[in-house]
Amino acid sequence: MATLELRNVNKTYGNGLPDTLKHIDLSIESGEFLILVGPSGCGKSTLMNCIAGLEQITGGAILVDDADISGMSPKDRDIAMVFQSYALYPTMNVRDNIAFGLKMRKMPAAAIDEEVARVAKLLQIEHLLTRKPGQLSGGQQQRVAMGRALARRPKIYLFDEPLSNLDAKLRVEMRTEIKLMHQRLKTTTVYVTHDQIEAMTLGDKVAVMKDGLIQQFGTPQQIYNDPANLFVASFIGSPPMNFIPVRLQCKEGRLLAVLDSGQARCELPLGISDAGLETRELILGIRPEQISLAPAVANGLPGIQADVQITEPTGPDLLVFVTLNQTKVCCRLAPDVPTRVGDTLNLQFDPARVLLFDAASGERLGVNVTPRQIGADNVAQFKGR
C-alpha cells in the first residue's frame, strides 16, 4: 500500500538519441490501479523498468510514499514485477520460484513455507508446487509468475504486458482474475499494456503514451469521452472512432460542420464559436455507437441519408459502413434491424458528443483539456486523414 508519484521523469540513452521518456508527471493514490498504454516503442516498458529500478532515470524523481527511490537498487525498492515472458526460473520448481525472493530476503524457512502456501491457495496452484515451469501450461505459468510477485507482499506491483502471451479466451479470464485480486488486495499497481480493452477494463487511471510523452492521463471514462487529441481518440475504442475531414461554415453566428454522403448534405451545428475556424482544416471525430438510425418520428437531431456499402454483423452489434465526405464511416447499429448493402439509411448524430480536432496539430478544439506538448511527428501522421 503506497502512493506513487513520478516527477518530471526523463530518460535518455545519450549519444544524440531522442529521449525515451520526456517529462513524465504522474501520481496515483495508494491502492490505485494505473495503466500505461500505448503503441510499441512509446516508452511504457522503459518507464516501468525505471520504476522497478532496472534502468536508471536521467532526470526527475520517482517517489513512493513521498520518499525518493530513484537512486535505490531494485531489491531495496520493495516492488514486485510480473513479466510478459513470465521469467520463471527454469531449473527451480514452482515452490522454489515463489520462495526465491523470500529466501533472498533472509526470511525464516517456516515463514517462507507459510507464505508459499498462502499464495498457492490464493491462486489455486497448490497441486503444481513441485513441477518445473517447463511442465506448466501458459496460464499456469502466468499464475506462478503472479504468485512470485504476491508472495513478496510488496508496496507496488508492476505488470509488464502479463496477458499478451495467452490465447484470447484465457486472456479474458485472467483479466477478470487480476481485477478480482486487486479488489481484494488493494495494492498499488502499475500495469503496462498495448491492449486498449485491458486499459479500459482494469485501470483506475490510464496514462496514454506515445513517443515518450504522456498524451493524456485520467480515468478510463475521461480518456474515452474526452480524448485530448487525435492520437488518444484513435488509440482507445474498438471499432475505432471515425475521423471525417470537414469544413466549417458560419451561419447566423453559429458554426456548422458540413457532411456530404453523395446523395444528401447535412449541417451539423457545433457547440463552439471560435472565430477563424472556418479557414482551417478540421477533423470531426465521432464514435461508431454515437451514430444511430433516425426514428420514424423526427426528434430534432441532425441527420443524413447514406447508402450502406458493407455490413459486418459481430453478434451483439451490426457494423454498417457508409461514406461521408469521401471517408469510410463505421456506424454501430442494433442487429435486429435488417440492413443490406445498397439500402439507404437515415442516420443521425448527437452534436453534443461530436469532437473536433485540428487537422494540422491533432489537438482537440473547444475543450479545456489541453494535452502536454505534442511532438511534430504526431501531426504528420494525422494530416492525411
Residues forming contacts to another protein in the complex (CB under 8 A) are 7-8, 23, 25, 49, 52-54, 59-61, 63, 68-76, 79-81, 83-87, 89-91, 100-101, 104-105, 148, 152
Triad 217, 223, 225: Cα angle to 5°: 150
Which CB, 12 or 339, lies closer to another protein? 12
Cβ closest to another protein, residue 25 vs residue 177 = 25
In the complex, the smallest distance separating the C-beta of residue 24 from another protein, rounded to whole angstroms, is 11
Considering the complex, state which of residue 91 and residue 370 has its C-beta at the smaller distance from another protein: 91
Q: Whole-number minimum distance, CB 222 to another protein, in Å?
A: 22
Residue 25 or 307 having the CB closest to another protein: 25
Compute the least distance from the CB of residue 373 to another protein, in Å.
12
Measured CA to CA, the distance from residue 58 to residue 14 in angstroms comes to 10
Taking the least distance from each CB to another protein, the nearer of 74 and 245 is 74
Laid out side by side, the sheet with 355-358 consists of: 242-246, 282-286, 355-358
CB of 134 to another protein, least distance (A): 11
**Biggest CA-to-CA distance, the chain:** 80
Q: Which is nearer to another protein, 105 or 127 (CB)?
A: 105
List the 156-160 sheet strands across, edge first: 79-82, 156-160, 188-193, 33-37, 205-210, 213-218
Residue with cell 513512493: 64
DSSP for 94-134 reads HHHHHHHHHHHTT--HHHHHHHHHHHHHHHT-GGGTTS-GG
Q: Which residues pair with 248 in a beta bridge?
A: 257
- In the complex, least distance from residue 185 CB atom to another protein, rounded to whole angstroms: 18
Number of H helices and E strands in the chain, helices first, is 9, 22
CB of 211 to another protein, least distance (A): 19
